[in-house]
Amino acid sequence: MRNRLLMGRGHMPNTSLFALAFAASPHPSAATATSLMSRNTSSSTSSIATSSILSASISQSSGEQLSTFLGSSAAVSSSSTTVPTATAQNPIPGIYPSTDPSNPPSIRQDALEVVPDFNPAWQTAHTKAQNQIANYTLEQLTTIVSGSTSRCVGNIQTVDDWPGLCLNDGPLGVRLADYITAFPPGINTAATFNRSLIRTRGLFMGQEFKGKGVNIALGPMMNILRVPAAGRNFEGFGADPFLSGEAAYETILGMQQGGVQACAKHFIDNEQETNRMTSSSDVDDRTQHEIYAQPFMRSVMAGVSAVMCSYNLINDTHACQNNLTLNGILKDEFGFQGFVVSDWGATHSTLSATAGLDMEMPDSSFFGETLATFVNNGSIPLSRVRDMAQRVIASWYFLHQDEDYPAVNFNANNQGDEAINEHINVEDDHSTVVLDIGRASIVLLKNIQNALPLKKPKSILLAGSDAGLASIGPNEFANAGGDDGILAIGGGSGAANLTYLISPLEAIQIRARQDRTTVSWILNDFDLARGGNMAIGASAALVFVNADSSEGSDRTNLTSHNDAEQLILSVAAQNNNTIVITHSVGPLIVDSWINHPNITGVLWAGVSAAETGNAITDVLYGAFNPSGRLPYTIAKNAADYPASVSTSLEIPYAEGLQIDYRAFDARNITPRYEFGFGLSYTEFKYSGLNIVAVNESDNAQADLIRNWEAGYPSPIGLGSSTALWLHRPAFQVTFEVQNTGDVSGGEIPQLYLQMPPSSDEPPSVLKGFSDVFLQPGETKTVTVMLSRHSLSIWDVVAQGWRRPQGTTAVAIGASSRDFRLTGFIPL
């Protein structure tokens, strides 16, 4: 069996070379260390690496399990054109369909029922790439994997008639370019809990990157909101690994359908900005698998073509030379077939190549000629450099970028460069999804006696700088690195130019004209007396506050810009219909004002780009019934969060699985507003929970399923964590949701698992969600699918996914603490 494997995997891109150069990192338990060592000592080719992993697992499980993992199609041929597949399962139409990135499963039902099989498309792409580079010189090969300077944020030079590559930020749109759309940041996208909107945003982004000639978009960003004050939280998808994973999955399917290569970043454990290049995130293996790696695993399952390794160290080894995470987890365990690019300046050695790094950016400090020297002196095998180049070129073919892909037509390094910038407008009507996400991401936190929606108020005051525009255009600060007026996005490489920006003041005035409402405003956060005085007698006093952050620095507190809490209190002191609207990159502590009796409403608007004024106005006036849900917990006190920004160079992720709501639940701390929370202008009733096992008539990987059902951990192998049997729907959960109020609206039903005590899991973990829109009185059946992966925990000793012993409960509800229905997994 091992020989078959060796032959069959002969052309899998090489992964685990010279692993010992990057010693296994210290891990908390001896068992972990032992099992990790077996992976770090793998030798010269991926085939061998894989087989050594497999042989390690044989000693822990049984030979029979191994053969069942490989399945009938494992005996792949050893012919020289054979290109690897990440799992040994052939495509199955309607279940595991052979999928091209240009034609992903449809947004809705398919997304729940189908596991797309990108292996055949990867295989075709790798074959083309292998042929293309067959006669390339060493210099040509190293050119393909080494950064250089040109028009984009990152560039790969032309080789022969191959045009080279443009890599450009970022996670919310084409950065440093004009006539593009800055889409709402990841955090608001996640707050919609709406797969269709997430996918559509991805698709539109992909089309815009392609239109500008960008080959690789440097996003989405999927680091977890572990630390509430982390500067880049707004770029990511919040505090829950499942939500982040699904948002990454949908975003990437959309982006790559649009034609651009997506780049999942930053792999991995890059959860704060303070000391981001020098600190080590010390993460245990189970937490790594269940929390931080989850969105990257889902990215691989979405066929992502690139992954960016991060600045930080992981358990004392730099992320871009970390054999365990790059070769072990990403390439072997997840079966990633694209390429790993370093974050900008995150390469620290030429030997990183042997740990799994495939491309250095933005220059060739360690690759380029030095890489060639390392090959020539025998330090790095030529086969590994071939593998790196093959992965890069294969990703280009995988996205069909060989077929009429537009040339780069802007200059990110000099936006005013008229010689090069063709000013191609790629915006199309993409502002529609900006507004849609803007509205659908607003979370209604408080609404006393139906203060909202507003009903033709006679007079309105808008107070706070965040209600109006900045003094200079929508792009006053480079990379949005400043806070003036309305906060639409955060700053850094996760920003992009806004082509326009609608403020709440502007949008509300247009509405006021229609309602004959008198509007006044004070856009000064510090003139507290005047703000209070102006609030006297207004039918509604709206106070706008914000909290900003940028890449490179973390927030220093969890309160508002300009201490605008004082403005809130001054206005609330004078007006008993005070409504607070927050634009924020992450959690804010609201306890200094939230229970003020005169504060009747609170809208959490996050950061939602150009249409935010319209989105807020639509929610304020009930043109849109709010359905956004918090993608993180809002605590009563900052100290209640399980983790905060660390100034140490060793950052123990000591809370393990207990991040965000999981910690509040486990420690019995009542939050101010829990993860998943959000009010509506209507009410929803849940009923009729039904949980059934899915009938898998195709019998694929049945032995593996039986093995798992019997409580054994999954055998480890190439692509074992992304295998069909683990991710296909295993249980179907259905229930009814009825709109019992008198206005139409959307509900976000959430599914949490409560695993048995033996699992050592947090009390409740999100494993499913849906969105349903209902007319008054209307009832719809909601379906959520659960995979075996969702029902598993990571077994550190066996290095596999295992069903915990005991009964797992299913809780369906409107937030992580508002459960309406409960049942059990029939196992």
Task: Say which of 100, 240, 269, 343 is annotated catalytic.
Answer: 343
Applying CB under 6 A, which of residues 493, 759, 799, 816 lies at the interface with ligand BGC?
Answer: 493
Applying CB under 6 A, which of residues 100, 117, 169, 611 lies at the interface with ligand BGC?
Answer: 169
Smallest separation (angstroms) from ligand BGC to the CB of 169 = 5
Smallest separation (angstroms) from ligand BGC to the CB of 145 = 17
Smallest separation (angstroms) from ligand BGC to the CB of 235 = 8
Q: Is 286 in the site for ligand BGC (CB under 6 A)?
A: no
For ligand BGC, which is the closer residue by CB, 266 or 662? Answer: 266
Q: Is 39 in the site for ligand BGC (CB under 6 A)?
A: no
Q: Please choose, from the candidates 603, 604, 602, 598, the residue with its C-alpha nearest in 3D space to the C-alpha of residue 577.
A: 598
Q: Phi, psi (5° rounding) for residue 529?
A: -65, -45
For ligand BGC, which is the closer residue by CB, 347 or 759? Answer: 347
H or E stretch at 129: helix 119-133
Binding flags for ligand BGC, 538-577, as an x/- string (CB under 6 A) = ----------------------------------------
Interhelix angle for 294-301 vs 241-257, to 10°? 30
Q: Is 153 in the site for ligand BGC (CB under 6 A)?
A: yes
For ligand BGC, which is the closer residue by CB, 309 or 603? Answer: 309
| Helices then strands, each counted (H, E), the chain | 24, 27
Q: Is 343 in the site for ligand BGC (CB under 6 A)?
A: yes
Binding flags for ligand BGC, 198-237, as an x/- string (CB under 6 A) = --------------------x-------------------
Q: Is 183 in the site for ligand BGC (CB under 6 A)?
A: no
Q: By three-state DSSP, how is residue 750 classified?
A: strand
Q: Label each residue of 59-85 as H, E or C.
A: HHCCHHHHHHHHCHHHCCCCCCCCCCC
CA distance 212 to 34: 48
CA distance 110 to 108: 6
| Residues forming a β-bridge with 782 | 735
Instruction: Report the amino acid identity of residue 790.
Output: S
Q: Is 412 in the site for ligand BGC (CB under 6 A)?
A: no
Residues in the chain: 827
Both tokens of residue 80?
């020289």
389 Cβ neighbours under 8 A, 6+ residues apart? 129, 133, 136, 141, 144, 145
For ligand BGC, which is the closer residue by CB, 9 or 265? Answer: 265
Applying CB under 6 A, which of residues 265, 430, 439, 662 lies at the interface with ligand BGC?
Answer: 265
Q: Is 151 in the site for ligand BGC (CB under 6 A)?
A: no
Applying CB under 6 A, which of residues 136, 344, 624, 653 lies at the interface with ligand BGC?
Answer: 344
Q: 208 near 533, Cβ under 8 Å? A: no
CA distance 547 to 584: 5
Q: 216 near 306, Cβ under 8 Å? A: yes
Q: Is 269 in the site for ligand BGC (CB under 6 A)?
A: no
For ligand BGC, which is the closer residue by CB, 292 or 344? Answer: 344
CA distance 330 to 100: 21
Smallest separation (angstroms) from ligand BGC to the CB of 343 = 5
- For residue 76, what are the CA distances in angstroms to 72, 83, 100, 288, 323? 10, 9, 21, 32, 27
Both tokens of residue 75?
């005996």
For ligand BGC, which is the closer residue by CB, 412 or 812? Answer: 412
Q: Please choose, from the candidates 470, 469, 477, the residue with its C-alpha nearest in 3D space to the C-alpha of residue 497.
A: 477
Smallest separation (angstroms) from ligand BGC to the CB of 431 = 25
For ligand BGC, which is the closer residue by CB, 344 or 397? Answer: 344
Smallest separation (angstroms) from ligand BGC to the CB of 477 = 16
| Residue 343 known to be catalytic | yes
Question: Of residues 747-776, which lie at the interface with ligand BGC (CB under 6 A)?
Answer: none
CA distance 507 to 522: 16
707 Cβ neighbours under 8 A, 6+ residues apart? 65, 68, 714, 715
For ligand BGC, which is the closer residue by CB, 170 or 746? Answer: 170
Smallest separation (angstroms) from ligand BGC to the CB of 183 = 16
Binding flags for ligand BGC, 108-147, as an x/- string (CB under 6 A) = ----------------------------------------
Smallest separation (angstroms) from ligand BGC to the CB of 175 = 7
CA distance 472 to 463: 19
**Strand 684-693 versus strand 750-754 pairing type:** unpaired
Both tokens of residue 167?
């890599």
Q: Is 100 in the site for ligand BGC (CB under 6 A)?
A: no
Sign of the CA dihedral 701, 707, 711, 716? Answer: negative
Q: Please choose, from the candidates 183, 227, 198, the residue with its C-alpha nearest in 3D space to the C-alpha of residue 495.
A: 183
Smallest separation (angstroms) from ligand BGC to the CB of 220 = 11
Residue 66 CB coordination number (10 Å) = 20
CA distance 146 to 256: 23
Both tokens of residue 706?
């039986």
For ligand BGC, which is the closer residue by CB, 170 or 713? Answer: 170
At which residue do the structure tokens 């070769």 appear?
327
CA distance 698 to 729: 13
Kindly determine how many residues on this chain lie close enough to bind ligand BGC according to the rule CB under 6 A.
8
Question: Of residues 792-811, which lie at the interface with ligand BGC (CB under 6 A)?
Answer: none
Smallest separation (angstroms) from ligand BGC to the CB of 438 = 24
CA distance 764 to 298: 21
Smallest separation (angstroms) from ligand BGC to the CB of 11 = 31
Both tokens of residue 568?
């809130």
Smallest separation (angstroms) from ligand BGC to the CB of 785 = 33
Burial class (CB in 10 A: 0-12, 13-18, 19+), 424: middle
Residue 508 CB coordination number (10 Å) = 25
For ligand BGC, which is the closer residue by CB, 496 or 502? Answer: 496
Strand boundaries in 694-789, DSSP class E: 729-739, 745-747, 750-754, 765-769, 772-774, 779-787
Smallest separation (angstroms) from ligand BGC to the CB of 219 = 8
For ligand BGC, which is the closer residue by CB, 564 or 645? Answer: 645
Backbone dihedral region of 684: left (phi > 0), alpha (psi from -120 to 50 degrees) or beta? beta
Q: Is 280 in the site for ligand BGC (CB under 6 A)?
A: no
For ligand BGC, which is the closer residue by CB, 32 or 168? Answer: 168
Helices (H), 550-593: 565-572
For ligand BGC, which is the closer residue by CB, 281 or 759? Answer: 281
Q: Please choose, from the candidates 777, 619, 782, the residue with its C-alpha nearest in 3D space to the C-alpha of residue 192.
A: 619
Which residues would be at the binding site for ligand BGC (CB under 6 A)?
153, 169-170, 218, 265, 343-344, 493
Q: Which residues are catalytic?
A: 343
